Amino acid sequence: MLKASLEKHTLDFKRPSGTSRGFLTQKDSWFIRIWDSDNPAIGGMGEDSIIKTLSPDWNQNYVKFLYQVVNNINQYIKPFSVITGKDNHPDKDKMIMLSKYPSIYLAVETALLDLKHGGTKVIFPSDFVSKQAPIKINGLIWMGSKEYMLEQIKEKLAAGFDCIKLKIGAIDFQKELDLLAFIRSKYSADQIELRVDANGAFSQEEALSKLEQLAKYDIHSIEQPIKQGDWIAMRDLCKNTPLPIALDEELIKVTVSSEKRALLETIQPQYIILKPSLIGGFSGTDEWIALAEELNIRWWITSALESNIGLNAIAQYTFTKNNPMPQGLGTGQLYTNNIPSKLVIQQGHLLHQ
């Protein structure tokens, strides 16, 4: 018999962090701890991370359902029998309910894996954990004034990153082009890989023109140039784009296998970007990866503002996928009150020490 508890933790940003949806100053997470009633000293921990402007599962009943899961954990772990090693048959109703809450799904999945490995925060045993094998990552540049973004760019380059990602769409587009021009005046595409993330900020009418302007700066890829939901418009854009397009928000709320396949076959993107807390945990991410590789679509994994509890789990999972591309991970340095972590960044790589 398993038991579970819940603890809310509100993360405070060191400074407002900008996206095309506005600026964030705080972000809520809940930590789920699961243990066996016969051995309460050993428990597994998972993070339920929510971005209220982005998370597909956030609604007015979210917290109520979260407590329902925690207070009835033995009912809700049946879909995770593969993880727990118990010979339970999945409860389809509970699985359907949990699939609509990917952030909770990931938290329970992580806590059960942690418990399985002795509650040591080793979620996926590998050389990443045991031998400090590195994961190559991109340096993230947050939206803000031109001066602030330029300051971040210089810091990332000085820290040894050779792949940086800029969030665009919040300031004047010409100023964003000026930033890219500055980087390219100093570093060629062979020296620095540039990724940009529009978070759906471009209108369908202007998107192709903006992509053509961006392409002049040897951009590796652009994430979600237009809003998600219009598969035909995105398909046409992916077909005619002068630079590779990566789907991000487009994957959110697509939970059925047949719909995932239909989306990828219809749009035929160059890349997809996978955020486990938004697309159904590690199980959901595995399914997207399998489909993408079958259809010759490349991919990488990105965290989504989790605390170090979630980052630790996602980083360990990412390492097991053996993807050599720079991944979108970090160490939660955005926050003033994060959880202590063994994750460190050295010369554009993430390590577990």
Active site residues: 167, 275
CB-based contact 317:285 (threshold 8 Å): yes
Distance of CA 265 to the CA centre of its chain: 22
Q: Rounded distance, CA 286 to CA 284, Å? A: 5
What are the structure tokens assigned to 143, written together?
């939206």
109 residue type, one letter: E
Q: Rounded distance, CA 311 to CA 225, Å? A: 26
DSSP bridge partners of 328: 302
Q: Rounded distance, CA 323 to CA 319, Å? A: 8
In the DSSP assignment, the letter for residue 39 is E
Identify the helix (H) or strand (E) that includes residue 286: helix 281-294
Residue at token pair 């390492």: 319
Q: What angle do CA 141, 142, 146 make, to 5 degrees?
A: 90
What does the CA dihedral 54, 57, 58, 62 come to, rounded to 10 degrees?
-160
